[in-house]
Amino acid sequence: MAEPSTRTLAGIALILLLIGVWAAFVASLARVVGGWPILVQAPFYLVMGIVWIIPLKPLLRWIQTGSVRDGSRGQD
């Protein structure tokens, strides 16, 4: 079994950092959001629980290929 590359380990660390920072950000909004009606809080937390995934696609592409951009664009 091959050892993971430095890029893979750095990518995993960045993913964990992203999750931690995002969780801290959302938790910091708890005082404000806590005063909202529950039917407004639920969709807010649902959206916030999904939005953090958006930066993962380029990060995972970078881990796999070393490039953030999709190499298939502009090629026929």
Domain chopping of the chain, boundaries: 9-65
Specify the 3-state DSSP secondary structure of 54: coil
Q: Are 52 and 19 in contact (CB under 8 A)?
A: yes
CA–CA distances in Å: residue 6 to residues 9, 11, 70: 5, 8, 21
Q: Identify the residue with better confidence: 6 or 3.
A: 6
Please give the average per-residue pLDDT across 11-23, as a whole number.
95
Provide, rounded to the nearest whole percent, the portion of the chain with pLDDT above 90.
74
**The pLDDT of residue 9 is above 80:** yes
Digit-coded pLDDT (tens) for 26-58? 999 999 999 999 999 999 999 999 999 998 989
